[in-house]
Amino acid sequence: MKYDTERLLNTAEAARFLRVSQASIRRWSDSGRLAASRIGGRRERRFKQSDLVAFMDREHSLTAAGPTVGGVPVPVPSHLAPFYSTDAGRLRLTVPFLAEGLRLGQPCVIVATEPLLTLYREALSGQDVVDLRQAESNGLFGTIRLGGNTTAGVIDDWERRFSELVARGASVIRLVGEMARVRTMFLSEDEMLRYEESFELMSRRYPVVAVCQYDVREFNGVAMLRALKAHPDMFEFRIGTFLN
């Protein structure tokens, strides 16, 4: 009989080995991304060094590719504004973008209202290797209705949320905003567009990839032009990728 003599590391030792926080080790273990054993009456976690090395190699290879939108690698941070004119076009870029993030254990947030939130949940639940319920319980997936109706209030809210996610170890935060619905959370369309301009500046301080979706059936040409100007990252890509 062959016995495994590899020494097991506790949570603190595993955190030092990977140079991360103990909270990150516990979160990765709970989500199943990092293999762990449970020992004793207190069911304490123990980790093999070989599993930690494999985890580190796997995460490095996944992260190296960076986030993609429509199959196009995008830098972190990025602030993008796809335009779509059909219901199917709404999901073409955003569902794969969010599913990719969930597979990598990156926080993913959707800003919308019903019934679009239900539509997104159903689409994501149908993706391979995405356990939406587990992601929600681990704080990796959330839906948000913004708390303020002014630009200053909403920007303050995002800064608090982003700071909390970074403090928890997030290296990439994925955000999808359905802007026709976000508009209803403000006092006016003009206020929403001023918010977009302020978000462009604020979000540069955080590892955020934001995809602000514009349904062209619900905005006029002037509003879409202002939206495009508020997303200068769009001019770094072939814009056809972001037209649906």
Residues 115 and 150 in one domain: yes
Q: What is the pLDDT of residues 11-26, one digit of tens each?
A: 999 988 887 778 878 8
Which CATH number characterizes residue 73's domain?
3.40.50.300
**Residue 117 has which token pair?**
């939130």
Q: Tell me the pLDDT of the chain averaged across its residues.
A: 88
Q: Which helix (H) or strand (E) holds 109?
A: strand 108-111
Structure confidence at residue 183 (pLDDT): 93
Segments in the chain forming alpha helices (H): 11-18, 22-31, 49-64, 87-103, 116-125, 132-137, 151-167, 179-182, 189-202, 221-229
- pLDDT (0 to 100) of residue 238: 87
* 107 lies in some domain: yes
Q: Which amino acid, 224?
A: M
Residues 78 and 174 in one domain: yes
Is residue 98 located within the same domain as residue 120?
yes
**Is 142 in the same domain as 50?**
no
Task: Find how far residue 235's CA is from the centre of its chain.
Answer: 22
pTM over 0.85: no
Please give the pLDDT value at position 185. Answer: 87
Same domain, 22 and 76: no
pLDDT of residue 19: 78
Distance of CA 77 to the CA centre of its chain: 12
Q: Does 180 map to a domain?
A: yes
Number of domains the chain is built from: 2
Low-confidence stretches of the chain (pLDDT beneath 50): 1-3, 64
Same domain, 119 and 172: yes
Domain span including residue 188: 68-242
